[in-house]
Amino acid sequence: MHRAPKATFSKSEIAMMHIRPPQSPPDVSLRLPSSKSIANRLLLMNYLAGEAPERLKPGSDDYLLMQKMILQLGQGTDNTVFDAGDAGTVFRFMAALLSITGGRHLLTGSQRMQQRPCAPLVDALRMLGAEIQYTGRQGFPPLMIEGKKLNGGRVDVDASVSSQFISALMMVAPEMENGIEIHLKGNVVSRSYIELTAGLMVRQGARVQMRLPVIRVDKGSYRISNAPAESDWSAAAFWMQLVALMPGSNIRIGGLNPESLQGDRVAVDLFRNLGVDSHFSGDMLTLTNAGNPVPFLEYDFNSCPDLLPAVAVACAGLGTGARFTGLSTLHIKESDRIQAVISGLLKLGYRAVSPCTGRLEILSGQNPVKGGVVSASGDHRIAMAFAMLALRTGSVILDTPAVVAKSYPEFWDDLRKAGFILTGG
């Protein structure tokens, strides 16, 4: 039997991807990659517990990078360079870990990473006694870190920039003599990810008390309790987007946990507004199109900003007007995701605006064009969201398809399983 060639790309490839929709609604079973949010947190906790990192398959670029850096740190070499590339989670978690690990470390990243602020985390670590210097622009990577034992204690943290700053501090707190008492200042963004961190830490033996805006983590040690790998709810959102845009589709996804600590499980509720019915049988989630999407959707994404690209592009394709808030963190992701969504939609004939920082509006009325070229803006979630819009435009040409490897290396292979026609060029 003839097999279509795999749609896997090396990071160096810059070829365009021409995406055409399936000729009939897909009926397919999939297993999504493991949650990198969970996997990267467990890597750090495993290291502090003295456990060797385990490789999850398929491994996202972010997970493999975090694993590589943990192994590098375990070699105990001084004057070592740690390059986090464009992985914000990896950079922030490693900044905290390197601060409590003896030696002199240079932590850097890609050009885009060096545009993403890290001052709230650095300020907090310095308040706890860490020795960190900026080697370039103040408030931004790279960092020179002199790792040492920290006493811990009270620390105030600006929680309005990134929840990963909070998670990083929480996870290294058991190693500090006095633990940590974190007082969150400002609007707390992506709260669900802080709750994910706390939940995983408790499962691994740490003592955590959350009474926001205060988080207390006691001195202690991790006792690793290995649990089955859990699929990524963030990745599931793109298949909900497919079902919303193509009636008659029947998508089955294995490995998801309906009681997951992952905040993005709210995708089930969000996409119900767009006509997607979700039904669990064991760990198998079945997605079908129930029709009747709402004419207008209003939602605050403060706790689940990673879902914005899939939901916004789905709304545009359905002709559903929308007003989305709680998006301030999206300006400093792998791309400015709000502008990337607006730019891509405009190129395909849709209308969207951002009337102020952290807000996006999808306007009703549309005149989609076929075969438009959309830039992924170096962002995996933008690439996956616009690939699905081919279901309404008839065709999408997307640049830098390899960026999906950051979180979902098998995305293009799974898209082919669903009947999409993918050609390079």
Tell which residue, 372, 237, 233, has the closest CA to residue 313: 237
Q: What phi, psi does 256 have (nearest 5°)?
A: -85, 150
Three-state secondary structure call for residue 284 = strand
User: How do beta strands 180-185 and 208-211 pair?
Assistant: unpaired
β strands within 111-198, DSSP E? 131-134, 143-147, 153-158, 180-185
Q: Which of 62, 83, 306, 414 does the annotation list as catalytic?
A: 306
- Burial label for 220, CB within 10 Å (0-12, 13-18, 19+), is middle
Sign of CA dihedral 121, 126, 130, 134: positive
Three-state secondary structure call for residue 15 = coil
Token pair, residue 137, equals 């622009």
**Complete DSSP assignment for 398-425:** ES-GGGGGGT-TTHHHHHHHTT-EEEE-
Whether 61 sits among the annotated catalytic residues: the reply is no
Token pair, residue 394, equals 């008839």
Point out the residues that are catalytic.
306
